[in-house]
A = this chain, B = another copy of it.
Amino acid sequence: MRAEMLNSILNELNGTSADIEASGVISTDGLMMASQLPAGLDEDRVGAMSAAMLSLGDRTASELGRGDLDQVLVKGKDGYVLMVYAGNEAVVTVLAKSHAKLGLIFLDVKRAAEQLSKLL
Protein backbone atom coordinates (compact mmCIF):
# COMPACT_ATOMS: atom_id res chain seq x y z
CA MET A 1 0.00 0.00 0.00
CA ARG A 2 2.71 2.44 1.02
CA ALA A 3 4.93 1.05 -1.75
CA GLU A 4 2.18 1.86 -4.23
CA MET A 5 1.95 5.43 -2.96
CA LEU A 6 5.74 5.87 -3.18
CA ASN A 7 5.70 4.50 -6.72
CA SER A 8 2.81 6.74 -7.65
CA ILE A 9 4.73 9.87 -6.52
CA LEU A 10 7.81 8.77 -8.49
CA ASN A 11 5.68 8.02 -11.52
CA GLU A 12 4.17 11.49 -11.36
CA LEU A 13 7.64 13.00 -10.95
CA ASN A 14 8.92 11.20 -14.06
CA GLY A 15 5.85 12.45 -15.91
CA THR A 16 6.43 16.14 -15.06
CA SER A 17 9.26 16.36 -17.57
CA ALA A 18 10.39 14.32 -20.56
CA ASP A 19 13.93 15.11 -19.38
CA ILE A 20 13.59 12.97 -16.25
CA GLU A 21 14.69 9.48 -17.22
CA ALA A 22 14.54 7.66 -13.91
CA SER A 23 13.85 8.15 -10.22
CA GLY A 24 14.07 6.22 -6.99
CA VAL A 25 13.61 6.55 -3.24
CA ILE A 26 16.54 5.09 -1.37
CA SER A 27 17.20 4.66 2.34
CA THR A 28 20.30 6.54 3.52
CA ASP A 29 22.08 3.19 3.83
CA GLY A 30 21.59 2.55 0.13
CA LEU A 31 18.58 0.22 -0.04
CA MET A 32 15.92 0.93 -2.67
CA MET A 33 12.42 1.62 -1.28
CA ALA A 34 10.70 2.30 -4.59
CA SER A 35 11.90 3.08 -8.09
CA GLN A 36 10.83 3.96 -11.60
CA LEU A 37 13.87 3.00 -13.62
CA PRO A 38 14.18 2.22 -17.34
CA ALA A 39 15.29 -1.28 -18.38
CA GLY A 40 19.07 -1.63 -18.24
CA LEU A 41 19.53 0.51 -15.14
CA ASP A 42 20.27 -1.60 -12.10
CA GLU A 43 18.42 -0.75 -8.86
CA ASP A 44 21.30 -1.85 -6.65
CA ARG A 45 23.76 0.27 -8.57
CA VAL A 46 21.60 3.40 -8.29
CA GLY A 47 21.13 2.73 -4.57
CA ALA A 48 24.80 2.16 -3.87
CA MET A 49 26.05 5.21 -5.78
CA SER A 50 23.37 7.45 -4.19
CA ALA A 51 24.25 6.35 -0.67
CA ALA A 52 27.99 6.80 -1.31
CA MET A 53 27.56 10.29 -2.82
CA LEU A 54 25.30 11.40 0.04
CA SER A 55 27.64 10.12 2.69
CA LEU A 56 30.61 11.96 1.16
CA GLY A 57 28.39 15.00 0.45
CA ASP A 58 27.43 15.10 4.15
CA ARG A 59 31.06 15.08 5.15
CA THR A 60 32.05 17.69 2.53
CA ALA A 61 29.26 20.07 3.57
CA SER A 62 30.22 19.71 7.20
CA GLU A 63 34.04 19.96 6.75
CA LEU A 64 33.72 23.03 4.52
CA GLY A 65 31.24 24.89 6.74
CA ARG A 66 28.15 24.49 4.54
CA GLY A 67 25.91 23.07 7.29
CA ASP A 68 23.60 20.07 6.98
CA LEU A 69 23.42 18.54 3.51
CA ASP A 70 20.37 19.28 1.33
CA GLN A 71 21.33 17.86 -2.04
CA VAL A 72 24.09 16.71 -4.35
CA LEU A 73 24.15 17.28 -8.11
CA VAL A 74 26.48 15.42 -10.47
CA LYS A 75 26.72 16.78 -14.02
CA GLY A 76 28.17 14.57 -16.73
CA LYS A 77 28.47 15.18 -20.46
CA ASP A 78 25.37 13.01 -20.99
CA GLY A 79 23.14 14.22 -18.17
CA TYR A 80 22.56 14.82 -14.49
CA VAL A 81 22.20 12.83 -11.29
CA LEU A 82 20.35 14.77 -8.59
CA MET A 83 20.04 13.49 -5.02
CA VAL A 84 17.74 15.29 -2.57
CA TYR A 85 16.93 14.31 1.02
CA ALA A 86 13.32 13.24 1.64
CA GLY A 87 13.24 13.60 5.40
CA ASN A 88 16.22 12.29 7.37
CA GLU A 89 16.06 8.61 6.47
CA ALA A 90 15.70 8.61 2.69
CA VAL A 91 16.84 10.30 -0.47
CA VAL A 92 15.24 10.82 -3.87
CA THR A 93 17.63 10.18 -6.74
CA VAL A 94 16.73 11.42 -10.21
CA LEU A 95 18.51 10.89 -13.53
CA ALA A 96 17.92 13.64 -16.08
CA LYS A 97 19.04 14.30 -19.64
CA SER A 98 21.88 16.70 -20.46
CA HIS A 99 19.64 19.43 -21.91
CA ALA A 100 17.24 19.32 -18.94
CA LYS A 101 16.14 22.65 -17.45
CA LEU A 102 17.75 22.40 -14.04
CA GLY A 103 15.54 25.01 -12.35
CA LEU A 104 12.41 23.00 -13.17
CA ILE A 105 13.99 19.70 -12.18
CA PHE A 106 15.10 21.14 -8.80
CA LEU A 107 11.55 22.37 -8.16
CA ASP A 108 9.82 19.13 -9.17
CA VAL A 109 12.22 16.93 -7.22
CA LYS A 110 11.94 19.11 -4.12
CA ARG A 111 8.14 18.83 -4.26
CA ALA A 112 8.29 15.06 -4.70
CA ALA A 113 10.79 14.80 -1.81
CA GLU A 114 8.35 16.67 0.45
CA GLN A 115 5.47 14.37 -0.50
CA LEU A 116 7.63 11.27 -0.06
CA SER A 117 8.96 12.37 3.33
CA LYS A 118 5.38 12.43 4.66
CA LEU A 119 4.98 8.74 3.78
CA LEU A 120 8.26 7.54 5.30
A contact set with B: CB distance below 8 Å? 41, 45-46, 49, 52-53, 56-57, 59-81, 95, 98
Copies of this protein in the assembly total 2
21 A-B contacts (beta carbon < 8 Å): A46-B64, A52-B56, A52-B60, A57-B74, A62-B76, A64-B81, A64-B95, A65-B78, A65-B79, A66-B74, A66-B75, A66-B76, A66-B79, A66-B81, A67-B79, A68-B77, A69-B75, A69-B76, A71-B74, A72-B72, A72-B75
Q: How far is the CA of A57 from the CA of B60 in the complex (A)?
A: 13
Q: How far is the CA of A75 from the CA of B71 in the complex (A)?
A: 5
Shortest Cβ distance from A55 into B: residue:
B56
* Cβ-defined partner of A67 (8 Å) among B65, B69, B77: B77
For A61, list chain B residues within 8 Å (CB). 74-76, 81
